[in-house]
Chains A and B, each alone.
Chain A
Amino acid sequence: MSESSAKATIAERMAGSTPTVLARRMRTISDRSVAWLFIAPTILLLLAINIFPLIWTIYLSFTNYKANRPNAKILGVGTTYYSDILSDPDIWYSMQATAHFVFWTVVLETVIGFGLAHLINRKFRGHGLWTTVILLPMMLSPAVVGNFWKFLFEPQIGLVNNAVSFLTGIDPSSFQMLGEVRLAPWAIVIVDVWMWTPYVMLICLAGLRSIPAYIYEAAEVDRASPLRQFWSITLPMTLPFIMLAVLFRGIENFKMFDLINLLTSGGPGSTTEVASITLKRAAFESWRTGYSSAFAIILFVTVFGLANIYVKALNRVKQR
């Protein structure tokens, strides 16, 4: 709390200095004024559209406010919602679904992405063109593409079911990727891996390319085996890059909403109901604004805390 109030005073100071700065002649503006003049609009916008809403969310999380009944009397409920959420088995189920999704997507994307980067780094003919082709999925709208994957996952007529049937001989109408409790959590993992593996691949490729060739030359001279070179040079030197990719993917997938909302909307039942979907259902379907605000704050603190711990670890690896 003290941090946000400190930021508010900084913004006030900047906002206060703007009119006098403009009043002076352009030529005599000091560097200090230019600096504040240039930064103030950005900070003000972020305060208005990010920080003010965040503070409002914190306030709402302690009240029984419901957005569909704006005229009802607002009553303070203290920390009831926080304790309710932390002891609600449905919320813990939702966190498990989120953990399953985040864990498997990050692991698969890292392994496949690093493998691909390693192959592309052999610089075969045409590697530039094929790299661009591989990158395409990650640039596309997750919502629009996720919506189309629903068609690919259709039982009987869908491409995925028919491809599986072609390879294994199972009847293509005998399973539903999105409609079965045992398959749906993996269907969303498949689409996310399809979409975001290129992201990890691109970062790993930058890491591999940052290793100077003379290190491998020295290793060759010392007759280090290729496997030894991989474990002692390639992996440790790309580790900071891999960790950065894991950080970005971890945060993004923890917040994941669009892809899953369109593929399964949390279904069947609540099998794929990850945190963002639970939050959307509570906030915009049951209109429990106070309750969902408390959940939003818990999620934000979780992401922020985990990311901070992780960045510390990342910096330690970098310094080695």
Chain B
Amino acid sequence: MTGKSTAHSIVEPSALSKGIAGTLVIVYALVTLVPLLWIVATGFKTPDDSIAYPPKLMFEPSLEGYVNLFTIRTRQTPDFIASLPPATAWYDKLVRSRNMVIAGPSKVVPRFLNSLIIAFGSTFLAVFLGTLSAYAFSRFKIPLADDLLFFILSTRMMPPIAVAIPIYLMYRELGLSDTRLGMILLYTAVNVSLAVWLLKGFIDEIPREYEEAAMIDGYGRLHAFFKVVLPQATTGIAATAIFCMIFAWNEYAFAVLLTSGDAQTMPPFIPFIIGEGGQDWPAVAAATTVFLIPIVCFTVLLRKHLLRGITFGAVRK
């Protein structure tokens, strides 16, 4: 396809082939973006608009989905609503215009907090344990090091449901069912394999000479680790932490089987946001939008390390 070539750079693609490639890639990107844009748009539709036939591309934006997401409402007679003191807040007015009254906050905020606490807690633990192990695997001669590393990786090959059966029984015995601590420990165990493999790659890239120089200057091994290696590994640790966080944030299989109330996270909660007569799609879309935004930001931040993260450090750029 690179038909014409010049003397200077014979492998540089021609302008025409670049143009065609660019167009095809952009078309693909736009097509795959449509479902995501549809989610965001549905969040700003009224329930009637969201299920209109044919689907509405243009619509009057409404915050009803977001109001429904954060509140529980009860249907009342118009007479009852007329007997109430006049609504002051805009969301009260919006709800009353549908012949409903706000009965209280929904569970979305506690579920969101669970997601945050479990994601942060498990990420911190996994990265902490992973950094220590990765350093040891990177710098010391450890008997059976390859076998141990493979063992750590192989724990990721089990289907989550297979792991969930005994964990369910074990947690029931230990009183860890449906607790944040239980979920944090479980996600830490899943993430630590990723953390060890990724961080080993990052630490391998830091020259040993730095610590050796520090140790000649009288630093102990641990001192050299904290003062020399850790600061050098900051980028790698940050990238690893974001990968662990994304996993814990997105995880569904363990969450749906092992939590039902107190410790439930967002992924098993969102599908059960229901309105009158089935799923309240604008509220589901609103929840999905709120839930996805942090990940979109992280993806942009992580661009350079994505490849490493998704292949457990097997491929580096």
* Complex-state Cα separation, A56 to B162, whole angstroms: 11
Instruction: Given A151-B42, A276-B161, answer yes or no on A203-B311 (Cβ-Cβ < 8 Å).
Output: yes
A300 at the interface (CB under 8 A from B): yes
Report whether A296 and B161 are in contact in the complex, using a CB–CB cutoff of 8 Å.
Answer: yes
B136 at the interface (CB under 8 A from A): yes
- List residues of chain B with CB within 8 A of the CB of A29: 220-222
B256 to chain A, nearest CB (A): 8
Contact string, B255-283, partner A, CB cutoff 8 A, digits 1/0?
01100000000111011000000010100
A135 at the interface (CB under 8 A from B): yes
Number of interface residues of B (CB under 8 A): 105
Contact string, B293-305, partner A, CB cutoff 8 A, digits 1/0?
0011011100100
B86 at the interface (CB under 8 A from A): no
Instruction: Given A122-B18, A125-B22, A296-B165, answer yes or no on A10-B157 (Cβ-Cβ < 8 Å).
Output: no
- List residues of chain B with CB within 8 A of the CB of A128: 303
Contact string, B190-204, partner A, CB cutoff 8 A, digits 1/0?
001100100000000
Report whether B11 and A148 are in contact in the complex, using a CB–CB cutoff of 8 Å.
Answer: no
Report whether A34 and B136 are in contact in the complex, using a CB–CB cutoff of 8 Å.
Answer: yes
* Complex-state Cα separation, A53 to B169, whole angstroms: 9
Report whether A53 and B136 are in contact in the complex, using a CB–CB cutoff of 8 Å.
Answer: no
Number of interface residues of A (CB under 8 A): 105
Which of chain B's residues 31-64 have a Cβ closer than 8 Å to chain A? Answer: 32-36, 38-39, 42, 51-55
Pick from B55, B151, B315: contact of A7, CB below 8 A. B151
B189 at the interface (CB under 8 A from A): yes
A2 at the interface (CB under 8 A from B): no
**B314: nearest residue on chain A (CB-CB)?**
A244
* Complex-state Cα separation, A135 to B33, whole angstroms: 10
**A141: nearest residue on chain B (CB-CB)?**
B250
- List residues of chain A with CB within 8 A of the CB of B250: 140-144
Report whether B284 and A241 are in contact in the complex, using a CB–CB cutoff of 8 Å.
Answer: no
- List residues of chain B with CB within 8 A of the CB of A43: 148, 152
- List residues of chain A with CB within 8 A of the CB of B240: none
Which secondary structure dominates where chain B touches chain A? helix
B135 at the interface (CB under 8 A from A): yes
A76 to chain B, nearest CB (A): 17
Pick from B185, B186, B291: contact of A141, CB below 8 A. B291
Report whether A56 and B36 are in contact in the complex, using a CB–CB cutoff of 8 Å.
Answer: no
Report whether B32 and A194 are in contact in the complex, using a CB–CB cutoff of 8 Å.
Answer: yes
Which of chain B's residues 208-241 have a Cβ closer than 8 Å to chain A? Answer: 220-222, 225
Instruction: Given A143-B250, A149-B35, answer yes or no on A283-B140 (Cβ-Cβ < 8 Å).
Output: no
Report whether A226 and B1 are in contact in the complex, using a CB–CB cutoff of 8 Å.
Answer: yes
Report whether A257 and B253 are in contact in the complex, using a CB–CB cutoff of 8 Å.
Answer: yes
* Complex-state Cα separation, A147 to B291, whole angstroms: 13
Report whether A202 and B148 are in contact in the complex, using a CB–CB cutoff of 8 Å.
Answer: no
B273 to chain A, nearest CB (A): 10
**A292: nearest residue on chain B (CB-CB)?**
B165
A15 at the interface (CB under 8 A from B): no
7 pairs of residues in contact across A and B, judged by CB atoms under 8 Å: A136-B36, A139-B299, A141-B292, A145-B292, A226-B1, A251-B157, A296-B162
